[in-house]
Amino acid sequence: MALYSEKVMDHFQNPRNVGKIDDADGIGEVGNARCGDIMKIYLKIENGIIVDVKFNTFGCGSAIASSSMATELIKGKPLTEALTLTNKAVAEALDGLPAHKMHCSVLAEEAIRAAIKDYYDKNGIAYDKADFPEHKDEDEHHA
């Protein structure tokens, strides 16, 4: 069996939504010092809907594929729906990730949450702090 699914390879070789939104409404950046992956997500939001999303990721193929797939999954969706996106959903949409690469999908989930929190903070929008847990422990990413 191949280490990576065809979808992972496609999103790695042809990533969607790569780039930067200069006038982004929300920006989320997360990283994992141990593996060196860094993800930055930019959101453009209108009436509570993510109308555009871009990312820049420095990392392995799984990190790039996870970022690409995650942006595809939230584009055009309400913020409330984007907040429910889990790393498991990202990995499943990619037809799976090797166990030692699951932290990449966790980073994608965290980057999206960080960008939404940034948008809420910039606009004085109240939110449930439970929707924005602190970043997971470094070792959890490599479980």
Note whether 95 and 8 are within 8 A (CB).
yes
Q: In terms of DSSP H, where are the helices of the chain? A: 6-13, 61-74, 79-82, 87-93, 102-122
- The DSSP letter of residue 89 is H
Positions marked active-site: 35, 104
State the residue for tokens 């982004």.
Answer: 24
SS3 at position 31: strand
Q: Which residues pair with 38 in a beta bridge?
A: 31, 58
